Structure 1
Amino acid sequence: MLQNYQKIMVAVDGSTEAELAFKKAVNVAMRNDAELLLAHVIDTRAFQSVSSFDGMLAEQATEMAKQTLEDYKKQAKDYGCEKVSSVIEYGSPKSIIAKQIPETNEVDLIMLGATGLNAVERLFIGSVSDYVIRNAACDVLVVRTDLENKLPDKKEEE
């Protein structure tokens, strides 16, 4: 029995981990003749600590996200993936990636990169991938390796 996915969402944020997930998501989408949904969530909690928030930060973040998604779209189409769409949402990435976007867009597979958080950060805030794995109603694939299934070269530990 073969499982075919119809709509694959990949969460992208410009990180190395997201890049790995994106490349694998393109391959899975092409093998399944599925639509690829590129999702970017602007974490509005980052703006709450800025006392003189005037809207410019949100506008800049949105413009950067739009450009990033356009770049990913072009790259996916260059690889041969024809059915590509994108979405930008605002709020907490955890619940938006796990629940809101998949429900609204009928996603049946979520692909995302493993987080770069260290153990102490995970203890206090948890990782997006951990939350998505526990709370998504569809299949979730956490990508750790490149297209050759090799771990990427690690930069010096921060």
Structure 2
Amino acid sequence: MLIEIRSSLDPELAALITAQQRELEAAGAEADRMFEPGDDVAYLVGVVNGRAVACGAWQETGPGAAELRRLYVRPAFRGRGLARQMIVAIEEEALAADRPLLRLELGARLSAAIALYQSSGYRQVPSTGPHRVRFEKRLPALVQ
């Protein structure tokens, strides 16, 4: 999979985010708030055979910290390790921007996503509500 940085206005990214939001709503999970163009969000898109099939984003949240957002892989492409590749790419981008602490929050019903983040080294921390799960991960420093 080729991972590219894309603009928030990219139509393929918009299609992925729309598909993600529909899937979240169908699962009874709270849909993510939409980012507005110009938000300080870095979007990445995973491309397989010229087709955008995965996305993810990170956003600065304070000194040394960022939030991982919008991780999504089209259903037909799941089970191939693409989500894990997206997580690694997002972590690398955040770390290169001096954001070694990554956080994320998701619906408690999203058991596959929860398992993915746990197996990727994210640890659960207290959440903001009974139907939410929050994780964080401190990334090792880059060796210069």
**TM (normalized to structure 2)?**
0.33
Give the number of the structure with larger relative contact order, counting CA–CA contacts within 8 Å between residues 6 or more apart: 1
Larger Rg: 1
Q: Give TM-score scaled by structure 1 length.
A: 0.31
